Amino acid sequence: MSLSVVIVGGLHADARRATVARLLADVPGGVALHHDLSTAPAGTVVRTVRDAGGVLSAGETPLVNDCACCALREDLVPELRRLADDGTTRLAVVELWDSVEPKAMAEVVVAGGLTVTGVLTAVDPALLLPCLGNGDDLADVGLAAAATDQRTVADTFARQLEYAPVLAVVESGEADEEDRELLAQLHPTARRVLVAAGESPASARAYARGTSSELVAAALAGFDVEAAAAAQHPACALLPAEADAHGVSTFVWHRRRPFHPERLYAALEDLTCAAARSRGRFWLADKPDTLLHWDAAGGALCVEPAGPWLASLPDAAWDLVPPVRRAAAALDWHPEHGDRCQHLVFTSPGLDRDGLAEVLESCLLTDAEYAAGRAAWQRLPSAFDTLLEV
């Protein structure tokens, strides 16, 4: 019997536990592995293995390089291999601790020679906006995975949500249509599976006897680590499309002309606070060869280089570029600028589309600045150098 590994993550702990309980109830012989990183300050990580009936084993593993996530990586694959070699376990559910991101763990498991058949993020729609609006550092709320962890609640949750192709939706009863619509617009390509809240293993088993489980089907549908990574890369990410329903809007702004670095820098705070979530790619007139990644949540913005635009590379280098990246560039190629573009997406309740568009347009080069040409563009003040740590 081959072992299928399903990864279930998310900051919404109650939703995550309900999802794992349902999977264990639906799959005879399934087990769940959970590494509790809350004990990391004491120097250890606690691993628990359980099935639908309760805890099977528990143990501690020491920190590695003062990093709880490193300890998880060192301990998880051997434990999964032990289950695979035993041959009696059909499904291993890896229940991630609150702030652990599924991308890293999926890649670790696959690199260890095991098969990941699904990655799910468990979500309570009522908690969606509070999480995306929470700019607190993980360290300040006791959720840091290492002493050097500088992530925030908002950006961590956004990555957990957007990486997973399946969202296990566990409603606490407080969600409304706006919450559900926000979830749909933030990750429109995700498969959303409803899971009953507060299921005990016993009640989940009783429910499962009378119904086929869409959750199990989604968990075992298959998962491609390389495709998932490509879908998150700023150069070829499949960003949400325009939408407007139940008070929630997604505004897609796409232009070819480069940004004036000083004017864009001056507008960053307004643009960052304009939406619960914004992301995309952009280019600056003084850095025409650098693809820049825009990633904002919780009132904080991360801007970082994401490599070169393909148009800046010599032809010989194109063979080294992944096919998905070349295909994405070809679909959006411009005769003058190649794949260089502004492609920013803003999603939020109560979004001021017109105000956003006005600010963004004002940050582009004017007709006179644009006509001056690239040599003049590159003499513009490099306002982003400090932010980009150039």
The string of pLDDT tens digits covering residues 340-350 is 999 999 999 99
Domain assignment present for 237: no
Residues 198 and 156 occupy one common structural domain? yes
Domain count, the chain: 2
> In this predicted structure, what is the pLDDT of residue 49?
95
Query: Is the pLDDT reported for residue 205 higher than 50?
Result: no
pLDDT band at 42 (very low <50, low <70, confident <90, very high): confident
Domain assignment present for 47: yes
Residues 43 and 173 occupy one common structural domain? yes
SS3 content of the chain, % helix, strand, coil (to 5): 40, 25, 30
Q: Which residues pair with 251 in a beta bridge?
A: 346
- Write the CB contacts of 182 (distance below 8 Å, at least 6 apart in sequence): 125, 128, 129, 248, 276, 347, 348, 349
Residues 88 and 228 occupy one common structural domain? yes
Q: Which two tokens stand for residue 216?
A: 């199990």
Domain with residue 358: its CATH number is 3.30.1220.10
Domain with residue 150: its CATH number is 3.40.50
85-94 confidence digits (pLDDT tens):
988 899 999 9
Residues 220 and 331 occupy one common structural domain? no
- Name the percent of the chain lying above pLDDT 70: 96
DSSP class per residue in 244-266: EETTEEEEEEEE-SPBPHHHHHH
Residues 157 and 255 occupy one common structural domain? no
- Write the CB contacts of 328 (distance below 8 Å, at least 6 apart in sequence): 235, 236, 339
Domain assignment present for 349: yes
Cβ pair 121, 178 in contact under 8 A: no
Residues 169 and 221 occupy one common structural domain? yes
Nearest 5°: the CA angle 242, 277, 135 is 175
378-388 confidence digits (pLDDT tens):
999 999 988 88
The one-character DSSP state at 239 is P
Last residue of a domain, one of 206, 232, 258: 232
Residues 48 and 139 occupy one common structural domain? yes
Residues 147 and 281 occupy one common structural domain? no
DSSP class per residue in 52-102: TTEEEEEEEEE-BTTBHHHHHHHHHHHHHHHHHHH---SEEEEE--TT--H
> In this predicted structure, what is the pLDDT of residue 204?
43
Query: Is the pLDDT reported for residue 200 higher than 60?
Result: no
> For residue 253, what are the domain limits?
243-388
Query: Is the pLDDT reported for residue 150 higher than 80?
Result: yes
Residues 79 and 195 occupy one common structural domain? yes
262-305 confidence digits (pLDDT tens):
999 999 999 999 999 999 999 999 999 999 999 999 999 999 99
Write down the H helix ranges in the chain: 13-26, 68-86, 102-111, 128-132, 153-163, 177-186, 201-209, 214-219, 225-232, 261-272, 323-331, 353-363, 367-371, 374-377, 385-388
> In this predicted structure, what is the pLDDT of residue 124?
97
Last residue of a domain, one of 232, 256, 284: 232
Domain assignment present for 38: yes
Q: Which two tokens stand for residue 158?
A: 């956004």
> In this predicted structure, what is the pLDDT of residue 202?
45
> Element (H or E) spanning 278, and its range?
strand 277-284
Residues 202 and 324 occupy one common structural domain? no
Domain assignment present for 87: yes
Q: Which two tokens stand for residue 320?
A: 């080294």
Phi–psi pair at 141, nearest 5 degrees: -110, 15
Q: Please report, in angstroms and rounded to a whole number, the separation of the first and last CA atoms in the chain.
A: 52
Query: Is the pLDDT reported for residue 67 higher than 80?
Result: no
CA distances from residue 165 to 27, 161, 229 in whole angstroms, order as listed: 21, 9, 12
Residues 264 and 300 occupy one common structural domain? yes
User: Is residue 87 left, alpha or beta, with left meaning phi > 0 and alpha meaning psi from -120 to 50?
Assistant: left
89-119 confidence digits (pLDDT tens):
999 999 999 999 999 999 999 999 999 999 9
Residues 220 and 254 occupy one common structural domain? no
Interhelix angle for 261-272 vs 353-363, to 10°? Answer: 160
Query: Is the pLDDT reported for residue 352 higher than 70?
Result: yes
Half-sphere exposure for 267 (CA within 13 Å, toward CB)? 18
Last residue of a domain, one of 232, 254, 288: 232
> In this predicted structure, what is the pLDDT of residue 210?
33
What is the distance between the alpha carbons of residues 61 and 64, in angstroms, rounded to a whole number? 9
Domain assignment present for 238: no
